[in-house]
């Protein structure tokens, strides 16, 4: 099948592209390299230098004999989007092409507005482009579990059946997102649901948990096929940051009490979930929502697991509680459903001691390149945000 | 008190400004006259020519001796917003300054994207500006009852208390908006709720029903103080359109079966609600939601009331069912709460026969200026939308 990967230069986009290509699909990746610009703005780098997308695609061809096509452009340019869809006629579109960092969105008025307009306009252009050029395509859109916040009830997968004053309806699950970035994903979800309803488009919204890991079957083929791995305070996700902190002997930085509980999944399971969603498409008119994670942990659970892995590896690892730069509940109820991808066949790779040991081993060779100054949070949700 | 009216050139903004000024408040109106540009794009005009805002403010001064200040600028320019707030130091901000038409937002990709970016960015700039320059101000933001859609349960005022699997929480009421315009208001509501939560801002979101009427106590003072009244397919609301159709002998254009039920209120009650919200402000950190309408009708109910009023006035009025240009349920459950403004003291002006007769009489003198071509809907939600 023809698969379009939007945001194909990124942490998740590039391994996704390789996976589909490896399985024989016709893959086109799209990127405008905006993420690399944001990295420059923040003065941060991935733990391993990542070759240009052009060079990685060439290397993929050398290593596997397979071709990944590339289009360079910005989804906010609708003429680019329309031409892209008209010329590639995809069967499935995997849409990662958004500003993905909550801290980035919270650092100033400018980045808040940029995040929301960039993410919304790109997705709106895509919806109108699909409507015009490939209305039968299946749109697989990356959302986040952070859209839900931490309500005091079980979180369902996208919808909630409510009985109220004796009447019942199934309604979109109420959202309480925790940053301008998370808000942008909630806005997207409302826009996409509407497009499915009025135009008959087919979409799957994947409310993804926090991803960890650096390797996939395809990145292991060659050092030139690595994906972008961040450990910094802007783009680094919590477990990845802890692993790098352990590798370099810095304390694990826990925000506040560390009771914040979230859904997590291994990078290889992200790929598996995307594959399952694409192979089992939504129907026309359907706005389908899956909660995409495999298990849940509190931040302290993870810190303790990484401490233990460090001890097993002979590293001295400590935990440092920092004032929480975010405004969020540090102890709360959390029980989100995540069965729909399992129903489609997801085989989770859980976070066993063995897996953590392997993750830690995979980041240790890069310890010499790490900038410990990038660990410390510099962007606060509250009073001292630059406006 | 110092009151800032954003969108002060508009149908609701101008009468609101006069009301506060009449009561002795210090009023500053803000507009960029974007609505007048949209009218030119669509080739439509209000039923009565409306003098420039400058001339209306001058006339207000001549008639009442009172001063309304004016700032011309665009909320999407954050430097304008920051300077405005720094210099005016308002106690309350009434925010009407958004693209307010569902059909306008649905006519093309360009107008959908414009509506969402214009409305979101203006409101985000306002939130950041408030945070910086007047964090204690009370923001009164106009939303719409259309944010809720037509769920099969009672609609509460902004929040829903849900018991699910034995646990209970009060969550934002799930939204099912019916156009890119209505979606923009849902996005705004999420953004404002977040700003209240993390920065302690105080806001009231008024989910307003469909407004009808042309006169207020202040517009009646002088012909030069009239407000902008639309009867066309883009900016005209249903009852206002029916009244003009009756006045000129055109059939009342009912979309589909006309079973669509909505909340309605008289223009004078909009002013009363705004006044009540401003005089009883939200607290810091509070995101308060009121459903702002006084009674509900189906579209056919209204058509029949206008037919009857026409007969009483000696006019031959008929009803024409047109294919519905929107995608919406034409028969549905509808029972929204609207008690919080009544609790604050709202005295509704209901749609009695006498009121309809007066409304019809107020539009009849302008019948000679009406363009009957502007009645017919030209923008469809479905297949033939220009993209």
| pLDDT (0 to 100) of residue B220 | 97
Given the residues B181, B212, B231, B334, the one annotated as active site: B181
Residue A339's pLDDT is 98
CA-CA distance, B161 to A10, in Å (whole number)? Answer: 40
Query: Cβ of B172 and A176 within 8 Å?
Result: yes
Q: Which residues on A lie below 8 Å from B197 (Cβ)? A: 327
Residues of B in contact with A172 (CB under 8 A): 174-176
- Best residue in B83, B131, B155, B171 to probe A by mutation, most A CBs within 10 Å? B171
A385: pLDDT confidence band, cut at 50, 70 and 90?
A: very low
User: How does pLDDT run across A207-235, given as a tens digit for each residue?
Assistant: 999 999 999 999 999 999 999 999 999 99
User: Of all helices (H) and strands (E), which one includes residue A180?
Assistant: helix A180-199
3-class state of residue A95 by DSSP: strand
The answer to whether A249 and A49 are in contact (CB under 8 A) is: no
B144 is catalytic: yes
Helix axes B353-363, B299-312, angle to 10 degrees: 70
Q: Quick: pLDDT tens for A301-355.
A: 999 999 999 999 999 999 999 999 999 999 999 999 999 999 999 999 999 999 9
Closest chain B C-alpha to A148 CA, distance in angstroms: 10
Contact list, A380 vs chain B (CB under 8 Å): none
Chain B: give the shortest CA distance to residue A198, in Å: 6
Beta bridge partners of B162: B169
Q: Using a CB-CB distance cutoff of 8 angstroms, which residues of chain B are in contact with residue A165? A: 153-154
CB contact under 8 A, B382 and A186: no
How far off is chain B from A367, nearest CA to CA, in Å? 36
Q: Which residue of A has its CA nearest to B194?
A: A178
- CB-based contact B144:B208 (threshold 8 Å): yes
Partner residue facing B169 (CB), from A116, A152, A178: A152
Q: Which residues of A are catalytic?
A: 144, 181, 185
With beta carbons under 8 A apart, name residues in chain B contacting A174: 160, 162, 171-174
pLDDT in tens, B189-202: 999 999 999 999 99
Distance from CA of A233 to the nearest CA of B (A): 20
pLDDT band at A96 (very low <50, low <70, confident <90, very high): very high
pLDDT at residue number B69: 98
- Taking the mean position of all CA atoms in its chain, how far away is CA B247? 23
Kindly indicate the confidence band of residue A383, based on its pLDDT and cuts at 50, 70 and 90: low
Q: Which CA distances in Å does B74 have to A131, B98, B118?
A: 32, 10, 9
DSSP one-letter code for A250: P
pTM: 0.97
**Cα atoms in the 13 Å half-sphere on the side-chain side of B304:** 8
Q: What is the pLDDT of residue A387?
A: 42
Per-residue pLDDT tens digits for A340-371: 999 999 999 999 999 999 999 999 999 999 99
> What pLDDT score does B384 carry?
56
**In Å, how far is A71's CA from the nearest CA of chain B?**
22
- Average pLDDT, rounded, for chain A: 97
Q: In terms of CA atoms, which chain B residue is nearest residue A380?
A: B198
Contact B87, B284 (CB under 8 A): no
Task: Give the CA distances from residue B94 to residues A85, B13, B14, B99, B206, in Å, rounded to whole numbers and listed in that order.
Answer: 43, 8, 11, 15, 10
Q: Which chain B residue is nearest to residue A194, measuring alpha carbons?
A: B178
Residue of A110, A126, A170, A171 to mutate, interface with B, max B Cβ within 10 Å: A171
Q: Which positions in chain B touch A180 (Cβ < 8 Å)?
A: 124, 191, 194
Could you give phi then psi for residue A172, rounded to 5 degrees? Answer: -55, 135
> With an 8 Å Cβ cutoff, are B154 and A160 in contact?
no
pLDDT of residue B10: 97
pLDDT at B72 over 80: yes
> At B379, is the pLDDT very low, low, confident or very high (cuts 50, 70, 90)?
very high
Does residue B386 carry a pLDDT above 80?
A: no
Over residues B316-329, the pLDDT tens digits come to 999 999 999 999 99
Give the integer Cα–Cα distance in Å for B243 and B355: 12
Which tokens belong to A316? 């001295």
Chain B residue whose CA is closest to A158:
B174
What is the pLDDT, as a whole number, of residue A386?
44
Distance from CA of B298 to the nearest CA of A (A): 21
Locate tokens 């919406």: which residue? B328
- Which of A115, A165, A169 is the best substitution to test chain B (most B C-beta atoms within 10 A)? A169
Measured between beta carbons, which residues in chain A are less than 8 angstroms from residue B186?
187, 190
Instruction: Please say if the pLDDT value at position A280 is more than 70.
Output: yes
């Amino acid at each position: 099948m023809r698969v379009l990967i939007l945001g194909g230069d990124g942490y998740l986009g590039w391994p996704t592209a390789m996976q589909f290509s490896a399985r024989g699909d016709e893959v086109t990746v799209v990127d405008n390299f905006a993420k690399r610009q944001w990295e420059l703005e923040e003065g941060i780098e991935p733990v391993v230098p990542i070759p240009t997308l052009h060079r990685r695609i060439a290397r993929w061809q050398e290593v596997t004999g397979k071709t990944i096509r590339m289009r360079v452009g910005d989804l906010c340019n609708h003429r680019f989007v329309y031409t892209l869809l008209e010329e590639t006629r995809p069967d499935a579109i995997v849409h990662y092409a958004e500003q993905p960092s909550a801290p980035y969105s919270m650092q100033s008025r400018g980045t808040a507005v940029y995040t929301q307009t960039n993410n919304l306009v790109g997705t709106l252009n895509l919806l109108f482009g699909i409507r015009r050029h490939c209305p039968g395509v299946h749109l697989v859109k990356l959302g986040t579990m952070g859209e839900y916040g931490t309500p005091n009830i079980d979180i369902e997968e996208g919808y909630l059946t409510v009985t109220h004053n004796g009447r019942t309806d199934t309604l979109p699950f109420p959202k309480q997102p925790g940053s301008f970035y998370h808000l942008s994903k909630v806005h997207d979800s409302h826009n996409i649901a509407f497009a499915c309803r009025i135009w008959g488009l087919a979409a799957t919204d994947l409310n993804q948990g926090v991803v960890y890991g650096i390797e996939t079957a395809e990145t292991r083929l060659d050092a030139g096929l690595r994906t972008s791995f961040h450990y910094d305070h802007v783009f680094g996700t919590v477990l990845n940051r802890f692993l790098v902190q352990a590798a370099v002997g810095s304390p694990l930085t826990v925000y506040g009490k560390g009771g914040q509980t979230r859904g997590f999944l291994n990078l290889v399971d992200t790929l598996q979930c995307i594959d399952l969603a694409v192979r089992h498409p939504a129907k026309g008119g359907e706005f389908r929502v899956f909660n995409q994670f495999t298990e849940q942990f509190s931040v302290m659970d993870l810190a303790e697991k990484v401490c233990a892995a460090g001890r097993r590896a002979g590293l001295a690892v400590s935990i440092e509680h920092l004032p929480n730069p975010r405004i969020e509940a540090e102890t709360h109820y959390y029980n989100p459903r995540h069965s729909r991808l399992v129903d489609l066949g997801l085989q989770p790779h859980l976070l066993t001691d063995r897996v953590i040991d392997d993750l830690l081993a995979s980041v240790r060779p890069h310890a010499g390149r790490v900038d410990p100054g990038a660990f410390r949070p510099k962007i606060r949700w509250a009073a001292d945000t630059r406006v």
